[in-house]
Structure 1
Amino acid sequence: MTDGPRRFELTDCDREPIHALNTIQPFGALLAVNLDWTLAYHSQNAAEVLGLAEIQSGRKQLQIGSSLDHVLRPLALERIKSCLFSLETADAVDRIFALELVNDRLFDCAVHRADHVIVIEVEPHMGERQPASPLDLLGPLTSQLETTEDMQVICRMGAARLKQILGYDRVMVYRFRADGTGEVIAEEREPKLESFLGLRYPRTDIPEQARALYLRNRFRIIADVEAIPVAILPQGRFGSEPLDLSMSTLRAVSPIHIQYLKNMGVGASLSISIVYQGRLWGLFACHHGSAKPLPFATRTTAELFSQLFSIALDRSLLRQNEAVRMQGQRLHDRLMVRLAQGPSLVENLPMLDDLLKGTIAHDGLSVMVDGVYRARGFAPDREEFEALVPTLNGFPSGRILASEAIAQHISAAASFADRAAGALIIPMSRNPRDYLALWRRELPQKVVWGGNPNKAVSKDEKGATLTPRSSFAAWEQTVSNHSERWNENDLQIAERLRTTLLEIILKLTDDAERERRKSQEQQSLLIAELNHRVRNILNLIRSLVDQSRREALDKDQFVEIVSGRITALATAHENITRENWSPAPISKLIEAEAKAYLNGKRDRLRLSGEDVLVSPKAYTVLALVLHEMVTNSVKYGSLCDRSGELAIALSRSPDGDLIIDWQESGGPPVEEPTRRGFGSTIIERSIPFELQGEARLDFQREGLRAHFRIPVSHVETGSIPIPNESQSEAPEPNAVEIVSSGSLPETILLVEDSMIIALDTAEILRDFGISHVATCSSVASALEAIENNLPDFAILDFNLGSETSERIISELRSLEVPFVLATGYGDISKQAAALGAVGALKKPYSQRDIARIIPGLSESENGTRLASSGRNPPPQGEA
């Protein structure tokens, strides 16, 4: 809440140089040596603590500038020197127990470095030469902490165990709050003492420089508050500076803090830092009613305990954070499902309010998006919220504003303080700013302080001495115009919510832009496709007219021939465009021809076998072929009289090809024509040329027989209605990846099922100086080309209609011919690498892109290049 007004006296506390007081506590002694092991500093009591005798000259053995080996035993000095090698960091401290320094006396030592000197702190050893193992004391605690997950339970357990180890009257777990104040959240004490559990303490009780020092030196003992500090010599000598005692165990205590402890009735204290994720989370604060010097080994055990405790606390807080993260993830998932495809955030405000109530407690909710404002529950109206916007826009971009007293930050919020005192405001965009705000109503409450926080420090009657407060009795403070505080969990979820809302907004924006582009692309595509198809149809009709003119004997026959062929095309296009240019059943085509030409002879046509769907391209070809076959049969074959019959059998080959067997019988005797007209050309050459199928005519005397094979790539099993199932591929980046390079190949195999793209690519390759380009449109023709003339390099269209180039790839790999894969479907970069390709091209590709993948033309050091299309191939479709 508040720790009271910060008057000038508090700044004095914060500036006190507690690390450079140049005194130590008297329960030990200090020696500081230069890097050449000459004495630079020593405490005034060092000779007394070490038990050094005066030499005959009357001078003591401890003299500034003298070598330390004149003071300490050689073996002891070697042990101390060896400690330096284990000090891995600047703030590291190493310890030696029961070390014989001088005169057969044992000492416990702590060694660390401070600036350019080595600091050695010594204390008389209390106990045997080999101290008891701290693991004996900490073993039971380890098993207890491993089975405990609740943070509050861990803190209570830690306080109890630490009191058992140290023997202090009171051990507290003191946690720092977000506002800098502290609160006792766990306590173990002697029954005679009053409880401090739940009391709050102002942040001035632990000044800023003390908090910073607690992060570096995590153990602090004050053995006796009545002890007189011991000076460190020399003092005031030219060039000398106060010794930095930041990492010292013996460092003396600030007079202000000593008075603070005395005012509390504390004779000795000990503090152990609790650090979580690099920041000061709290302290173990231990108090004793009288002086209490602790053996070094016991203090070390307490330090090990604090490390075990920190691990357990860390695990508990991580679990808590993980639970919050999962809660945020669930909220993210639910919002994505509800908002990503639906109406705007403003329209979904009631749903958002309901979702958030189970995650972040709030009394009201409001949102402003694109100038539209909506509110729900206890929240400001539009005018009141707009008054906040200028100030909100002044805050850093992307930063959440959370306050239990929003009016203290934005004065305009005072106008609706009766409805909303606390606010958690989440920005959802940069410019212009959109906001989602959660509101909390005023919650009058009482905060219990350990003493009056407004009188944390004071000056004596003369105003010259700064002293801490003397009363620590529970002091209640009534807080108004504040809501319940937003805790860490609320803020974590709010941050995740901000990311989610940004993601949703970006997705909706992208979707809208994508739909707009898609609509434009579809419109352009439809126009282009319509133009392409109209041109194809007009060209085809022009050719039909021209060729029909040559075979017609008179005008009437010409009109009949042309009309029949155009009608056949019209029927075919009607069938394949009925379902948006999709495959159509072959039976419909046969029935349409029978209806148009057989009239009363319909019963003389026998259609048998398996009906299939045929692709649009094959359908238009078959329309002309079947039209010519029926026309010839009606004019010259079995259907030209009253007795003949026509049998059409549909079947599938083992490979799935469509087989059409045509058999006429009962008509006039058949003779093979001596003249081939345009109709015969359509029958005999269209299917092999355009569909890579077969067409055979057998002019037997008893009746014409014909055999047509339509490759499986143009055939689908079933009948109308059958949905058009298309295979979707993952998107592929426009990338060319080159693994190796070499000389310019002489022969290149180009496998491409689009004739126009194939012609264009072949022309580009020849422009590059490739002497021979073998162009193929199918797997079979490509394998034949490889067998006839082994290429030096290959460019393979991976998707060849319904087949792929995998068989070609296998053959090229066995022959060690390098190749690249080209595709217009999507991402095949990983597949290309797995298949052994040296690169990948995405259609449409340009002359520059092709140059990159041809050895001898371009090399890539990194193995990956972006390919941007510099020239587009002409539209693809039926010619």
Structure 2
Amino acid sequence: MTTPLAISDQLDLSNCDREPIHLLGQIQHFGYLVAVSMDWIVQHVSANIEELFGRQPDDMLGCPLAEILPDGSLHLIRGKLQLIAPNEGCERVFSIDFFGDGRYFDIAVHISNTSIVIELERSESNAASNGNPGMLLKAMVARIQRCDFTTAVFRECVRQLRAVTGFDRVMLYRFAESGSGAVVAESLNRNLEPFLGLNYPATDIPRQARQLYLRNRIRIIADVDSQNIDIVPQTDPSGAPLDLSLSVTRAVSPIHVEYLKNMGVHASLSISVVIDDKLWGLFALHNYTPRLLSMEMRSTMELFGEMASLIIEGRLGKETRRVEEEARDLNDRVVAKLISTSPTMAELIDFAEDFRELIPCDGFAVWAKDVVRTVGQCPFPDDMPGLARFLNRAASSRVYATDELSSVYPKAAEFVDRAAGLLAIPISRAPRDYLLFFRKEIVETVTWAGRPDEKPVEFGPNGPRLTPRKSFEAWQETVRGKCRPWSPARLKAAEALRVSILEVLLRFNEETERQQKLASQHQELLIAELNHRVRNILSLMRALVVQSRASAESVDDFSTIIGGRIQALARAHDQITDDNYKAQSLRAIMQTEIEAYIGPKASRVHLDGPVILVEAKAFSTLALVFHEMVTNSAKYGALSDSRGNVRVSWRIDDNENCEILWRESDGPPVKPPSRRGFGSTIIERSIPHDLGGEVSVEYHLTGLKARFVLPSQVFQLKSELEANIEETDYVHKGYKGQDVLLQSRLAGKTGLILEDNMIISLDAEQMLLEKGAKDVITAMSVSEAKRIVDRHTIDIALLDVNLGNETSFSLVPALEAKAIPYVFVTGYGEKLELPDHVDPRTEAVKKPFATEQLVAALDRALARREG
């Protein structure tokens, strides 16, 4: 007979990972649910729906939602749908008299595949029950921002959450790469046992739960003893259950309920901490009696979680940058020594102390030409050939690191007392040579919240399964065979060292090979530049914001400045990557890079020369070169201070070539670069290699001087008249393809948008501008719109019918008096009835609307009025 112990040995811990927790077909007891199709036919309801509608579930299924909801509520839902995308996010509204009978509800709306899901929770009154959520959130965040250190931020976050929500215990739980986690901060009632410092296995929060925490950032469990409410019917006609991934009232997995009961917890609230689009951790709130926070309070706490995530990310990033800056300084010193001595691979052992300072370790070795040289505590020489063969399989021209070598290379168990962890940097292609950093074993004691493997076996209709453990008493485990982990900062330092060493070795020892593979290197050059730009785009955005702040005199001024610079940056990237452009102005190429990257300093760059149009084959090359020239000047040259100037002039020389002279003056003293970087390679080699031209760069103390020569076949010399046409076309077209959009009747028109929802108004404004409108003015009320019509020349108007306490129909006479065509947008669908004074031909576009649908209606309105 098989004993339960024997069965548990055969079972794994993945039954939780396989549980479809988003397809349970139930909601919690405090909620109500109605799911409708995209044409507003009821598909699913919760079994308790009769409490709200007074109709049995079967009587509601298959009915149009418009038959059972007031018009105002249906309009509200349609408006919220305009703000969300399918399967992404949820819109909420609080304390609404949803049925028009004095009963107030909190409402949540989201799109699940092909269904619109509406969830309701009772609200005590039509007044906000939690005071001013914005002020509450502001006060919480202000206290957190005053914390200087990451650990202090953690502690203040949990303290604020417990004070605001009233839960008995609040923990910050941080995930490890393995999926396990640890409690890094805690605030609790005095009579509770602390969990701070305890570790939890990955199976406590299974994979699919972690994925849901990314999509749905907050999760409430009000009462583990309550009876869940079924969804009726359980499946749609095709047999698929309703996906409740984004539901705010989704029922709880029975396995998780059992887990909470074993802990003695009756209610919980989880708030995701997301950093760099990954689930970094959770705020776990536990209560030992049932507890339900209102939807408004939960939404406020969700926003707090997002703000806390940004603050934590900033603190962690600041600490990482400090370590990386120290490593970069060390790397620069090591590389300077390498350049000055030009060592062979075998001679790199002479730099062991420098390398070990950069990447702390207990032993260092150089494996080159099948020979090993060691310093410090390393495996014996006889162990090295096998280790090198392992690395040849494991590392493909990349840094390889492990803190438990014996787990991936079993033979390492024989020398675990000398080297438990390894970081390997490949420094050649074939045969593979390596710099090897070893760390010794550190015996560590890990404290778990109960034994991770102590899970009882339960027999059910589907056979035996492992149930959540019942004991959470601290249990200690001794971990052997591992070293101190290699931090992300050290891994970056290792990658930087790999690149630097390859640069040095390639420069001094592989010159012949580089010349033979010049074409391949050119392709790698362009790929590296693209990769470089993608990696740094967020940093560039942040820099633009910071640099623009000083010159802005108001919020609107700041918005205009930063918007213009980001637009210029986008044009620059389009110019570099687009293959279908025609010849463009040389001046425009330079001006684009100047405006995009140095902003207010653009007036200190003087351009002078005849009108020259550069052919397409040379356009991307010149854009790259002048991008590097501008950014280098802004970082190190004449544009790096407040006095310097740059003068760029060009002329046609005696050989019919275009000679471009770059002169910097009045800036800081110039020093020649101590090492050749990637930017220097682009400046000095791109034009000769790609275009057959010439380049010379001189580093004078008074300022950099550069000379570029373009052969005659890559440019055209234009007359002033032709040039004005070409450059005007370049300025007005902007992005590729916009000339097609200008065919819309909206081109050059001024539009008025009357809409009381700011987000929808901004969305519509962007649509009109993208389709060529010259200007768009927005208003939130009829009175404001009338003032705009009186004071401005309006060509077309877009009117939301329902503006809360009024309709836009009263604006029609003012529009008709000035012969301004107009189109309505509405959340009422086909039920919209136009007053007698409104032209019956006037179109009404339903919410949510698409760009093409809206613009087509506006075009038709303009055509009718012009006719």
Task: Give the TM interval when normalised to the shorter protein.
Answer: 0.5 to 0.7
Residue aligning to 2:654: 794
Give the alignment's TM-score, normalised by structure 1: 0.57
Alignment of 1:371-450 (within 5 A): 371-450=370-449
Percent identity between the two aligned chains: 36
The 8 Å contact of residues 384 and 415 in structure 1, kept in 2 or not, is answered as: no
The 8 Å contact of residues 339 and 345 in structure 1, kept in 2 or not, is answered as: no
Alignment of 1:561-572 (within 5 A): none
Alignment of 1:635-650 (within 5 A): none
For 2:92, the aligned partner's letter is R
1:182 aligns with 2:181: yes
CA shift, 1:260, in A, is 0.6
Unaligned runs of 5+ in 2: 1-7, 517-610, 616-651, 660-687, 719-725, 728-867
1:337 aligns with 2:336: yes
CA shift, 1:171, in A, is 0.8
Alignment of 1:729-878 (within 5 A): 739=613, 794-795=654-655, 827=695, 840-841=710-711
Residue aligning to 1:53: 54
Looking at secondary structure, tell me which structure has more helix per residue. Answer: 2
For 1:467, the aligned partner's letter is T
Distance 1:186 1:835 in 2: 57
Distance 1:160 1:254 in 2: 29
Residue aligning to 2:315: 316
Distance 1:113 1:140 in 2: 33
1:97 aligns with 2:98: no
Distance 1:379 1:386 in 2: 13
Residue aligning to 1:78: 75
Q: 1:480 to 1:837 in 2, by over 3 A?
A: closer
1:37 aligns with 2:40: yes
CA shift, 1:461, in A, is 9.3
For 2:67, the aligned partner's letter is H
Residue aligning to 2:581: none
Distance 1:22 1:488 in 2: 42
Distance 1:826 1:60 in 2: 80
For 2:655, the aligned partner's letter is I
The 8 Å contact of residues 14 and 203 in structure 2, kept in 1 or not, is answered as: no
The 8 Å contact of residues 346 and 372 in structure 1, kept in 2 or not, is answered as: no
The 8 Å contact of residues 271 and 283 in structure 1, kept in 2 or not, is answered as: yes
The 8 Å contact of residues 29 and 45 in structure 1, kept in 2 or not, is answered as: yes
Alpha-carbon RMSD across the aligned residues, in angstroms, is: 3.7
Distance 1:360 1:127 in 2: 62
The 8 Å contact of residues 255 and 468 in structure 2, kept in 1 or not, is answered as: yes
Residue aligning to 2:301: 302
Q: 1:453 to 1:400 in 2, by over 3 A?
A: farther
1:459 aligns with 2:458: yes
Residues 223-253 of structure 1, C-alpha deviation per residue, up to 9 Å, x if partnerless?
A: 1111111100013674342100000011111
The 8 Å contact of residues 53 and 60 in structure 1, kept in 2 or not, is answered as: no
Residue aligning to 2:217: 218
For 2:508, the aligned partner's letter is L
Distance 1:89 1:288 in 2: 34
Distance 2:436 2:456 in 1: 39
Residue aligning to 1:109: 107
Distance 1:840 1:830 in 2: 18
3-state SS of 1:492 partner: helix
The 8 Å contact of residues 13 and 203 in structure 2, kept in 1 or not, is answered as: yes
Distance 2:486 2:706 in 1: 57
Distance 1:248 1:461 in 2: 29
For 1:148, the aligned partner's letter is C
Residue aligning to 1:585: none
Q: Rg bigger for which structure?
A: 1
Residue aligning to 2:488: 488
The 8 Å contact of residues 171 and 287 in structure 1, kept in 2 or not, is answered as: yes
Distance 1:405 1:340 in 2: 34
CA shift, 1:30, in A, is 0.6
3-state SS of 1:827 partner: strand
3-state SS of 2:60 partner: coil
Alignment of 1:264-303 (within 5 A): 264-303=263-302
Distance 1:829 1:426 in 2: 34
Residues 523-567 of structure 1, C-alpha deviation per residue, up to 9 Å, x if partnerless?
A: xxxxxxxxxxxxxxxxxxxxxxxxxxxxxxxxxxxxxxxxxxxxx
1:473 aligns with 2:473: yes
Q: 1:69 to 1:288 in 2, by over 3 A?
A: same
3-state SS of 2:195 partner: coil
CA shift, 1:326, in A, is 1.3
For 2:118, the aligned partner's letter is I
Residues 634-670 of structure 1, C-alpha deviation per residue, up to 9 Å, x if partnerless?
A: xxxxxxxxxxxxxxxxxxxxxxxxxxxxxxxxxxxxx
3-state SS of 2:695 partner: coil
Distance 2:425 2:708 in 1: 49
3-state SS of 1:10 partner: coil
For 1:44, the aligned partner's letter is A
CA shift, 1:378, in A, is 0.5
CA shift, 1:167, in A, is 0.9
The 8 Å contact of residues 9 and 458 in structure 1, kept in 2 or not, is answered as: no
3-state SS of 2:379 partner: coil
3-state SS of 2:84 partner: coil
Distance 1:128 1:515 in 2: 77
The 8 Å contact of residues 342 and 505 in structure 2, kept in 1 or not, is answered as: no
Q: 1:358 to 1:171 in 2, by over 3 A?
A: farther
3-state SS of 2:12 partner: helix
3-state SS of 2:170 partner: strand
Alignment of 1:648-667 (within 5 A): none
CA shift, 1:62, in A, is 4.7
The 8 Å contact of residues 267 and 291 in structure 1, kept in 2 or not, is answered as: yes
Distance 1:508 1:836 in 2: 26
Residues 615-652 of structure 1, C-alpha deviation per residue, up to 9 Å, x if partnerless?
A: xxxxxxxxxxxxxxxxxxxxxxxxxxxxxxxxxxxxxx
Q: 1:798 to 1:479 in 2, by over 3 A?
A: closer
The 8 Å contact of residues 57 and 232 in structure 2, kept in 1 or not, is answered as: no
CA shift, 1:489, in A, is 2.7
Residue aligning to 1:325: 324
Distance 2:289 2:420 in 1: 47
Distance 1:111 1:351 in 2: 66
Q: 1:738 to 1:470 in 2, by over 3 A?
A: same
Distance 1:183 1:86 in 2: 37
Distance 2:450 2:59 in 1: 47
Q: 1:61 to 1:479 in 2, by over 3 A?
A: closer
3-state SS of 1:341 partner: helix
Q: 1:224 to 1:334 in 2, by over 3 A?
A: same
CA shift, 1:830, in A, is 13
CA shift, 1:73, in A, is 2.1
CA shift, 1:441, in A, is 1.1
Alignment of 1:460-609 (within 5 A): 460=459, 464-510=464-510
Distance 1:398 1:500 in 2: 14
Q: Report the number of matched residues.
A: 547
Residue aligning to 2:247: 248
Q: 1:457 to 1:183 in 2, by over 3 A?
A: farther
Residue aligning to 2:147: 148
Q: 1:335 to 1:70 in 2, by over 3 A?
A: same
CA shift, 1:17, in A, is 0.5
The 8 Å contact of residues 42 and 60 in structure 2, kept in 1 or not, is answered as: yes
Distance 1:239 1:21 in 2: 17
CA shift, 1:119, in A, is 0.3
The 8 Å contact of residues 202 and 456 in structure 1, kept in 2 or not, is answered as: no
For 2:203, the aligned partner's letter is T
Residue aligning to 2:191: 192
CA shift, 1:392, in A, is 1.2
Distance 2:432 2:443 in 1: 33
